[in-house]
Structure 1
């Protein structure tokens, strides 16, 4: 396979869930997620739920997208400080008995997923949260959760509004209605399946917790009859074509399929994965463009020879300018290439162009410059010899004379400058 990043498919990180099989821990990810990610053109990279992995996330770079899905309840300490649940110890114990598999807190998974969510938010990496993944996203942005919907929501509303959000007797077949909010991505994906008045679809449900206070940056996309938010997104970070996608769905669209079939309940079910992957692909392209190193320009033989001649010319000019070394007459012609190049380069700022022209003049006139430099040195040496033979009085008179001449020169120059300014003003 080519190592060229432009042909490497984008990477979507998915954190595994830990379970026990034959008295051993095993990590797994639902295959429906993986199928859809691969089918739409990205590569799922499974991040194992192993102790210490939250400290090694940089090893999974580059990250082009993050998909977080099923898992246990999030440790309430991540959000409960902001808003207490009000549940008694007896009620918490009852919740643990009813939802044993979900209430077994996994602190390592929390650390991994919250770190990834915050990384996505910092870098604008596309993020899709399904079920627990939507809750992780909300908590990462400062939102809170109901620790148990039945005890914190259902018991406080009229019976006709109550919703069963998890049914262990009909786990895969259980559905409940949600109302879709207009002018949201969810509305666009399911618009062909929505009644114009009710705007409802029937979704699966496998959770006993949910969004309590939605983080400020998000906008709801769907509500269940009991008022629970079933989907939300960040409108300022949603443009799949430009690599932007931050969204959470409480239900599992990838598992909304007809009984004993792979056919989806609605044509819009796979759209979340399709648009997410589209954003992931666009994000990878942006990332590669921003970090790619331009390949050096390949010159033909004639251009390469010209380049070498110009570089040689610059090298000679630098030696003359820096060290004042004499130039061998046989090499004077070598300076012309550098001078011509410098003076012909017009794709520069005015300051750069003036500087290069000065350098070009130095290159062209290097020999005469050295001659003048030697003449000045000889004159200075001669003047020192003459002044060394003069008396103190003679030197004082000479210093006074040049001081007076300097003052006169300064006054005349000042009048001339003012005259030019007045002429310009008039």
Structure 2
């Protein structure tokens, strides 16, 4: 029996500083294939090559990955500054309408880091350009040095809502996560339910309220060590269940229907 297809949003890179590519971390594919139990399909997130309508037909669900470029502030009504960093307007042009279409259709997606921010912006929210510059906030950025294991190491607690959707997925009210982001939610978009917070109050887990499908998104990187991490594994397993449900029946999972 064919596995359902998860479209993994790719990022644009220059290989060796001169060869343009679309790429995706192998840990994303590994999590989708071996934990969610779905077929990973890397998407060149650029409207010159793909359309949202085509992606909705080809894929059963979507993984909105992390990435170094940020959502352009014009997408949430603000002006570009140096603090906003690099951008990928082509990815913005695909992912933001894709999120809105999936919410409307009930088609499942899982947002990670930049993908988490895309979900908030797609629903009308705004972002801080640099969390660590805010009073009382910690530095959520990736450590600049060290091995991958050190960069993706667990660094802080995320507290989720008692009895909420993430509590049901994790089976715990507090979980340990890594943290590798500079930006974060400033104002929550319409229907965005903030369901998990870092100790400094930074939103870390969200979903779209009253959406008919799976819309869970996290600010950390659960794709790292997803097969054995006690937080990542149930998250990707729940996402895989939602994608299979969509592929079989074209409807979202029961899990998302209550907040």
Same fold by TM (over 0.5)?
yes
Q: Secondary structure at the match of 1:178?
A: strand
1:16–1:37 distance in 2 versus 1, CA, 3 Å? same
1:52 maps to which of 48, 53, 58: 48
Match runs of 1:132-151 below 5 Å: 132-151=114-133
Match runs of 1:268-283 below 5 Å: 268-283=231-246
CA contact (8 A) 2:154 2:176 kept: no
| Structure 1 residue 50 displacement after superposition | 4.3
Q: Secondary structure at the match of 2:168?
A: helix
Match runs of 1:385-404 below 5 Å: none
Residue 26 of structure 2 corresponds to residue 31 of structure 1: yes
Residue number in structure 2 paired with 1:188: 168
2:216 maps to which of 232, 238, 247: 247
Residue number in structure 2 paired with 1:223: 197
CA-atom RMSD, angstroms? Answer: 2.4
CA contact (8 A) 1:16 1:28 kept: yes
Residue number in structure 1 paired with 2:63: 67
Residue number in structure 2 paired with 1:76: 73
Counterpart CA distance in 2 for 1:122 and 1:12 is 18
Q: Secondary structure at the match of 1:186?
A: helix
1:202–1:41 distance in 2 versus 1, CA, 3 Å? closer
Aligned length: 242
Deviations 1:140-184 (A, max 9, x none): 111111111122x2xx23xxxx31201223532361222222112
Deviations 1:18-72 (A, max 9, x none): 1122221222112222122222332122111446135x33333233111101121
Higher strand share: 2
2:108 maps to which of 114, 120, 126: 126
Deviations 1:304-337 (A, max 9, x none): xxxxxxxxxxxxxxxxxxxxxxxxxxxxxxxxxx
Counterpart CA distance in 1 for 2:174 and 2:53 is 42
Tell me which stretches of 4 or more aligned residues in structure 1 moved more than 6 Å: none
Residue 179 of structure 2 corresponds to residue 179 of structure 1: no
Counterpart CA distance in 1 for 2:47 and 2:242 is 31
Counterpart CA distance in 2 for 1:268 and 1:165 is 19
Higher helix share: 1
Q: TM-score scaled to structure 2, two decimals?
A: 0.84
| Structure 1 residue 122 displacement after superposition | 2.1
| Structure 1 residue 137 displacement after superposition | 0.7
Counterpart CA distance in 2 for 1:126 and 1:251 is 19
Residue number in structure 2 paired with 1:406: none
Q: Secondary structure at the match of 1:246?
A: coil
| Structure 1 residue 15 displacement after superposition | 1.4
Counterpart CA distance in 2 for 1:184 and 1:31 is 31
Residue 144 of structure 2 corresponds to residue 168 of structure 1: yes
| Structure 1 residue 215 displacement after superposition | 1.8
| Structure 1 residue 206 displacement after superposition | 1.0
Once the two structures are overlaid, the 10-residue window that deviates more, 227-236 or 123-132, is: 227-236
Q: Secondary structure at the match of 1:255?
A: coil
1:287–1:185 distance in 2 versus 1, CA, 3 Å? closer
Counterpart CA distance in 2 for 1:281 and 1:222 is 26
Larger Rg: 1
